[in-house]
Structure 1
Amino acid sequence: MVMKGEMKMNYQFLNVSIENKIAIITLNRGPVNAVSQEMYKEIKEVFTSLGKNKNEANVAILTAEGKVFCAGNDLHEFVSMTPENGVDRMMEVREAFWAIYDCDIPVIAAVNGAALGTGFALAASCDVIIASENAKFALPEINVGVLGGAKFGARIVPEMVMRRMYFTGEAVSVQEISKYGAITEITPQEDLLRVSLKWAQKIASKSPNAIRMARKSLNGCEYMDLKSGYEFEQQFTCELSGFEESKEAVRAVIEKRKPVFKTI
């Protein structure tokens, strides 16, 4: 794995690369990319660092090696969990998810195959989901004697659908999930990365400062009421107006040309 920037150069369970302002983070813990505590730590480190250098990446893609996006948490770690050690372990888990959700740049989930439990939460932590035709999603925690994932599920499907998934632990096809509007595009598995890169390129072409402020704005107002949320958004319009990038963007529209953004 080779990566530019200040981030750690070697990861045991992730492959990371950056090219043309697009970072690709690939889960790589065979055979089904079940996430261990050490892998959660790596996910946190990568996404906490991504986007800090505006000359490197404007958008990220989260995908996985093999035919399974992520089959969930490593079940062996549940066997050794106790009420005492579980507190610290659960903190590490949620900090990995928050690192994706709070990443400085937008994140696209390219879901190849099953996204179960932790896999569902990883996808739900992202901004956009592209999925292969054979993708499926589930919250099977109840089947293995643990709980969690409901709030993530509610970002993707309606409350009653999430509850059905939560209580039964049964998987739902990407075709059903797509009915609720959370899936941007469904593709043949062999086209998944190409299609995800197409969407990433659309985002990466925008003003780096606007991309980062837009993500802060969206995250900040997601659970606000209408008036509070819109007022929160407006402050970023004011802040962005102080950057040359915003002037270049509006000039490009007026002059009917592509903008040229200079980052430092």
Structure 2
Amino acid sequence: MPLPGLEGLECYRVEVADFVATVTLDRPPVNAQNGKFREETCRLFDVLHDSPEVRAIVLTGAGRVFSAGADLKERPGMTEVRGAYPRHNRLVRACFDSLLECDKPIIAAVNGAAIGAGCALALCADIIVVSEDSFMSMTEVEVGLAGGVKHILRHFGQSDARLMFFTARRIPGPELLRMRVASACVPGPQLLDTALGIAREIAAKVPLAVRAAKRSFTLVEDLPLHEGYRYEQSQTVALSRTEDTKEAQRAFAEKRKPVFQGR
């Protein structure tokens, strides 16, 4: 049974087990992103945000490509239709924001190519693992576009970000690990198990604390140190009053596995 609210998805497959949702991009042949894809992305991650059955998410692609990026067939004539580009751009932002704003940590398991908007989608995840034969590439300058710089700068150093964007080079999995963009680079057959292992570790922690930590990562990214840490401390104060935090501390003292209630 799908999670309530996720019936009828056409561009994704979703499986939930042990509090981990495995989300697979499934829009053959290369998981290109069109309007339907973006609308489903928003709905999907909003539902996962609100689902107590899910504590962590693994995001990967069906087939040999994570995502080849935007479906450019949608763009011809867009500049001639009044309002078309503002609507398009708003939906693109919402698509990426739905991952950034989802309270559940997302592990991107990048299998194969992550190009343009596909690269940006992977970079919206909290943790990135890549296969040895994968690569990321921002090809915007090759097709006369320029979006995605801010997403790249969240993970790449200044010089590497510019090199990647200005040249449209492919950055292979081992290089992504060396650049510290990815946390792990493994053979393709091990990719999903590696990502699921991380997700299960996260799912075993205090759910309310994990969600608070993700909100902190998102909020404090552009804040000064003092303001950012003060916000984090307010989260700790609020968590200290929850039943799950008290249960976690009791379980630690009693050397047993905690049972969380989400409150």
TM-score between both structures, scaled by the size of structure 1: 0.95
* Counterpart check, 1:75 vs 2:68: no
User: Structure 2: which amino acid aligns with 1:199?
Assistant: I
Inter-CA distance 231–131: structure 2 relative to 1 (3 Å threshold): same
* Match 1:64 to one of 46, 49, 61: 61
- Letter of the structure 2 residue corresponding to residue 44 of structure 1: C
The yes-or-no answer on 1:119 pairing with 2:100 is no
**Is residue 244 of structure 1 aligned with residue 235 of structure 2?**
no
Note the 1:12-161 alignment, pairs <5 A.
12-54=10-52, 56-82=53-79, 84=82, 85-161=84-160
The answer as to whether partners of 1:157 and 1:177 remain within 8 angstroms in 2 is no
Aligned residues: 261
Shift of 1:3: 1.5
- Asked if the contact 1:63–1:69 (Cα under 8 Å) also holds between the matched residues in 2, the reply is yes
Other structure's SS at 1:29 match: coil
1:260 Cα shift? 2.1
Partner letter of residue 47 of structure 1?
F
Asked whether the 8 Å contact 2:55–2:105 carries over to 1, the reply is yes
Deviation at 1:136, TM superposition (A): 0.5
Mapped contact 1:68–1:112 kept (Cα < 8 A): yes
CA distance in 1, matches of 2:143, 2:152: 18
CA RMSD between the two structures: 1.4
Checking the alignment, whether the CA contact within 8 Å between 2:60 and 2:109 is kept in structure 1 is: yes
State the alpha-carbon separation in 2 of the partners of residues 190 and 155 from structure 1.
28
Quote the offset at 1:263 in angstroms. Answer: 3.6
Q: CA deviation at 1:80?
A: 3.2
- Using the alignment, how far apart are the partners of 1:136 and 1:53 within structure 2? 32
For 2:241 and 2:92, locate their aligned partners in 1 and report how far apart those are by CA, in whole Å: 38
Gaps of 5+ in 2: none
SS in 1 for 2:49: coil
Offset at residue 257 of structure 1 (A): 2.9
Q: Does 1:178 align with 2:177?
A: yes
Deviates more, 1:61-70 or 1:171-180: 171-180
What is the Cα deviation at residue 255 of structure 1? 2.9
Q: Distance in 1 between matches of 2:199 and 2:120?
A: 21
Answer yes or no: is the 8 Å Cα contact 2:247–2:259 preserved in 1.
Answer: yes
Q: Which runs of 5+ in 1 are unaligned?
A: none
Which residue identity lines up with residue 11 of structure 1 in the other structure? Answer: L
Q: Partner of 1:230 in structure 2?
A: 229
Whether the 8 Å CA contact 2:6–2:47 is kept in 1: the answer is no
Query: Does the aligned pair in 1 maintain the 2:64–2:112 contact within 8 Å?
Result: yes
